[in-house]
Structure 1
Amino acid sequence: MSPLRNLIDGASADAASGATYDVVDPATGRTYTTAPASGPEDVDRAMRAAERAFGTWGETTPKERQEALLRIAQALEDRADEFVRVECENTGKPIGLTADEELPPSVDELRFFAGAARVLEGRGAGEYLKDHTSWVRREPIGVVAQVTPWNYPLMMAIWKIAPALAAGNTIVLKPSDTTPASTVLLAELAAEHLPPGVLNVVCGDRDTGRALVEHPTPQLVAITGSVRAGMEVAGSAATDLKRVHLELGGKAPVVVFDDADVAAAAEAIATAGYFNAGQDCTAATRVLAADGVHDDLVAALAEQARGTRTGLPDDPDILYGALNNPDQLARVTGMVDRLPDHARIDAGGTRPTVAGGEGGYYFDATVVSGLRQDDEAVQDEIFGPVITVQRFADEAEALRLANGVRYGLSSSVWTTDHARALRMSKRLDFGVVWINTHIPFVSEMPHGGFKHSGYGKDLSMYGLEDYTRIKHVMSFTGE
């Protein structure tokens, strides 16, 4: 692959310093391209371009923004094979699953927000004070700074840029330093359909991200990333009173009651837990099993794990590929190595040998049972293909265990008792609750969490509204 370049003011650009860094294919551990190591000068240039562009893009009509987003969506769909190839080299993901499960939703989300741009809602005009008429304007915020993660680099870039552009904002976005390729390609594609400066992408490391957040121009900073990164962004943004939109980590409880279909639940949980190597903040990796089904569920999950393969992206029989980077591999192996004596590894727990991928960052599908609520593997996000199982006696204990973590992003309940499912959906302290399923998303419904999982919503009309500001206008109408 040719060296990557930033996209600033509608044109490709190297870092002002000329510095670059290596980008590594996780499936092989080999460098496959380089990216600009951008500094404050590059960020400032991108911000100035976005600020200039906002003067015109912010005045466009919803129809004009819709048409631009629809053109980008169609171009992405037309070049799907190219984007899949780049994304898989970027991340080590399976080619087939990426083509089937990530590209179509990405195109759909662009099209959803293209339509949503034209149906923003607000309170109707009215006389709330005698001889005065009031109405509400919903306006774009201005320049938005965005930071996206390495687990779904293309999809998360679209989750960020689609609502921001639909609302009339301009953007400076920094992708993760380990996965910039597909985001740069997306920016180059978008530049064919957007005025210069509307969407800018700067590559770099955490220092580049800090320069982005600390720059005085953006009025909103949106990040999908770790709790640590979110706290740092929120603290930095607070010094300039910038708005923040945080979609952070998760530790999703998967609550399986004793009336659930164990075999069906185990199959669905394994898929939702091991997909993308468990590198998903909504992954079904923290299972809570009722006493009556605990042993059977552990056995069924272990069987699923032993039948789940990882390998190179072009292997059609794998469910997931390599972990994203050596630091993440070290995190997963470290957490498994540090399991307490009362825990039991029922399947996996080792690194496989992958022919052709000897330098890649692979880890076997793993099941761990016997864990207690205060164990590290229960409380901290593993972000790998490791499913943990705890036992509970009744509904009250299930809720206590489920809610007893600092995260609040997503959860699921597995039961045939409708009333119980509704009680649990009310009392689970998570932004998403699935019932007898786990992990499906649709563009029309919001995604976002509570507690240390952050605040703000991606997807849906709520996601679009997060990229707008509210203005009250009042006119004297008396004689």
Structure 2
Amino acid sequence: MRDLRTLHNHVNGAFVDAVDGRTLDIVDPTTGQVYATSPLSGAADVDAAMAAAADAFPHWRDATPSTRQKLLLRIADAIEARADELVDAECRDTGKPRGLTLSEEIGPMADQVRFFAGAARLLEGRSAGEYADGMTSIIRREPIGVCAQVAPWNYPMMTAVWKFAPALAAGNTVVLKPSDTTPASTVLLADIVGGVLADMGLPAGVLNVICGDRETGRLMVEHPTPAMAAITGSVRAGIQVAQSAAGDVKRVHLELGGKAPVLVFEDADIAEAARVISTAGFFNAGQDCTAATRVLVHESIHAPFVEALTKAAAGARTGGVDEADVCYGPLNNADQLAQVSGYIERLPAHATVETGGHRVGEAGYFYAATVVTGLRQHDEIIQNEVFGPVITVQRFSDEDQAVEYANDVRFALASSVWTKDHARAMRMSRRLDFGCVWINTHAPLLAEMPHGGFKQSGYGKDLSAYGFEDYTRIKHVMTAL
């Protein structure tokens, strides 16, 4: 008999199993072996979580902004206090290097929660005024209601924060589902938030976490209780959520895939560009919708840039959670390993694998840092999101061709421009059809700045005041004088 860890849903302040007892196996991606089980939540579990959130909503909606702020500030403190537990849970589910996860995720998570704690007290609107004779108009900004949220497996605990923190700050209550492969850290976050809610005498149903698969997510989105559905995931998942939410006209917030172009012009610092792009492309095994994985380089510096990038990639080591000098861990699951491998196996004859292009080891889902050159604009690997440690390199001849290639994909989340020419950087930032344009850097995210894209990368913003406003609704109140 297997000796496995057992995870639970967290509903109305209590750990509970799925009503029908069904479970999912959770696999350690560093070994490929099952190490835990989590509930496979069905309709009855979704009903219970939605009922808890709906019951808690009137109290939480009417809580003062200062109360919401206090809750979030205490949650941020608790995240830092229990950092080691959160990192242990995150790394077991994802295989991420422990040191990087502690340094790169816990601090930003706590900072993001504190940002939204401040936002809770800054619900701005247009001032009252008289726009018709004998009438005064007022604009109210209000919480939406119960929010159904679905988080992905690449950054489970950080995206959970991106989801629940602005929603709670605005006065909403939440039912959150983590990915079926990475539930552990989100369940622990629910326990942390639940403890703070209890200490403050607030309703336990303000935040509920239920585990499950795609069907669980579908049941959440189609449930009549939520007023809003928010997902970070694939384009396919986003389309399904939008279609399901259309049945009763729910509001939808979608943060989907990416295929970030990285434009390297002839005056760029080649060594620095190669170093940063390698880091931004291979971090988290390239499992990042903003990853620097599609490089467009001016033909005059193509050869030296490829040489520098290939050297940097060859030094980007993958390995286990506690191994030294590891840049990134494994891919998340067997299906993802097969997807990344498939893109390399199907490369056209005109492509060249400069380094990598193979699995590492026989256990787990490790894949070598890979650089591919010689590609053409409409090759499969250029047009589709690989979501793995693979960087492609294409040539361009001038600004117009660079922009044409950059925009000629269905994704529009993030991009970067590498040049010493300020005017060129400004031209590119205007012409690039992406929600974020970095200049001479790639990947920094800030709590104060919005994260979100266009086209099939979705709509709505995470982080920033814009992300906060996405979880509010606008009401006009008019009174006769």
Counterpart of 1:410? 414
Cα deviation, residue 85, structure 1? 1.1
The reply on whether 1:83 has 2:86 as its aligned counterpart is: yes
Cα deviation, residue 2, structure 1? 3.4
The reply on whether 1:473 has 2:477 as its aligned counterpart is: yes
Counterpart of 1:283? 291
Q: Deviations over 1:373-393 (max 9, x none)?
A: 000000000000000000000
Counterpart of 2:52? 49
Cα deviation, residue 316, structure 1? 2.4
Structure 1 counterpart SS, 2:452: coil
Cα deviation, residue 438, structure 1? 0.1
Q: TM-score of the superposition, structure 1-length normalised?
A: 0.98
Cα deviation, residue 228, structure 1? 0.2
Matched residues in 1 for 2:291 and 2:375: separation? Answer: 18
Structure 2 counterpart SS, 1:250: coil
Counterpart of 2:125? 122
Query: Which residue identity does 2:305 align to in structure 1?
Result: L
The reply on whether 1:204 has 2:200 as its aligned counterpart is: no
The reply on whether 1:397 has 2:401 as its aligned counterpart is: yes
Query: Which residue identity does 2:363 align to in structure 1?
Result: G
Q: Deviations over 1:88-117 (max 9, x none)?
A: 011000001001111110010000000110
Which stretches in structure 2 are left out of the alignment for 5+ residues?
A: 198-202
Matched residues in 1 for 2:14 and 2:324: separation? Answer: 37
The reply on whether 1:163 has 2:166 as its aligned counterpart is: yes
Counterpart of 1:377? 381
Q: Deviations over 1:325-368 (max 9, x none)?
A: 00000000000000000000001001122xxxx42101000000
How do residues 360-375 of structure 1 correspond to structure 2 at under 5 angstroms? 360-375=364-379
Counterpart of 1:464? 468
Matched residues in 2 for 1:44 and 1:241: separation? Answer: 19
Q: Deviations over 1:279-309 (max 9, x none)?
A: 0000000000001111111111111111110
Counterpart of 2:350? 342
Q: Deviations over 1:382-423 (max 9, x none)?
A: 000000000000000000000000000000000000000000
My pick for the range that moved more, 125-134 or 371-380, is 125-134
State whether residues 96 and 316 of structure 1, in contact with CA within 8 Å, keep that contact through their aligned partners in structure 2.
no
The reply on whether 1:388 has 2:396 as its aligned counterpart is: no
Matched residues in 1 for 2:301 and 2:410: separation? Answer: 27
Query: Which residue identity does 2:125 align to in structure 1?
Result: G
Query: Which residue identity does 2:93 align to in structure 1?
Result: N
The reply on whether 1:256 has 2:259 as its aligned counterpart is: no
Query: Which residue identity does 1:30 align to in structure 2?
Result: Q
Cα deviation, residue 21, structure 1? 1.4
Counterpart of 1:30? 33
The reply on whether 1:6 has 2:9 as its aligned counterpart is: yes
The reply on whether 1:97 has 2:100 as its aligned counterpart is: yes
Structure 1 counterpart SS, 2:140: strand
Q: 1:69 aligns with which of 61, 72, 83?
A: 72
Cα deviation, residue 42, structure 1? 0.2
How do residues 105-184 of structure 1 correspond to structure 2 at under 5 angstroms? 105-184=108-187
Q: Deviations over 1:36-87 (max 9, x none)?
A: 0110110011001100000111110110000001111101101111111111
Counterpart of 1:422? 426
Counterpart of 2:438? 434
Counterpart of 2:458? 454
Counterpart of 2:62? 59
Which stretches in structure 1 are left out of the alignment for 5+ residues?
A: none
Q: Deviations over 1:179-218 (max 9, x none)?
A: 0000000001100112211101110011101100110110
Matched residues in 2 for 1:30 and 1:317: separation? Answer: 24
Counterpart of 1:213? 221
Matched residues in 2 for 1:325 and 1:107: separation? Answer: 28
The reply on whether 1:318 has 2:321 as its aligned counterpart is: no
Structure 1 counterpart SS, 2:182: coil
The reply on whether 1:330 has 2:338 as its aligned counterpart is: yes
Matched residues in 2 for 1:85 and 1:206: separation? Answer: 25
Matched residues in 1 for 2:196 and 2:360: separation? Answer: 44
State whether residues 323 and 361 of structure 1, in contact with CA within 8 Å, keep that contact through their aligned partners in structure 2.
yes
State whether residues 25 and 91 of structure 1, in contact with CA within 8 Å, keep that contact through their aligned partners in structure 2.
yes
Q: TM-score of the superposition, structure 2-length normalised?
A: 0.98
My pick for the range that moved more, 386-395 or 187-196, is 187-196
Query: Which residue identity does 2:166 align to in structure 1?
Result: P
Matched residues in 2 for 1:154 and 1:390: separation? Answer: 35
Counterpart of 1:191? 194
Query: Which residue identity does 1:426 align to in structure 2?
Result: R
Matched residues in 1 for 2:244 and 2:303: separation? Answer: 47
Matched residues in 2 for 1:316 and 1:58: separation? Answer: 48
Structure 2 counterpart SS, 1:239: helix
Query: Which residue identity does 2:473 align to in structure 1?
Result: R
Matched residues in 1 for 2:306 and 2:88: separation? Answer: 36
Query: Which residue identity does 2:120 align to in structure 1?
Result: A
State whether residues 289 and 389 of structure 1, in contact with CA within 8 Å, keep that contact through their aligned partners in structure 2.
yes
Matched residues in 2 for 1:229 and 1:412: separation? Answer: 26
Query: Which residue identity does 1:163 align to in structure 2?
Result: P
The reply on whether 1:272 has 2:280 as its aligned counterpart is: yes
Matched residues in 1 for 2:177 and 2:213: separation? Answer: 9
Query: Which residue identity does 2:19 align to in structure 1?
Result: A
Counterpart of 2:200? none
State whether residues 108 and 443 of structure 1, in contact with CA within 8 Å, keep that contact through their aligned partners in structure 2.
yes
Structure 1 counterpart SS, 2:474: strand
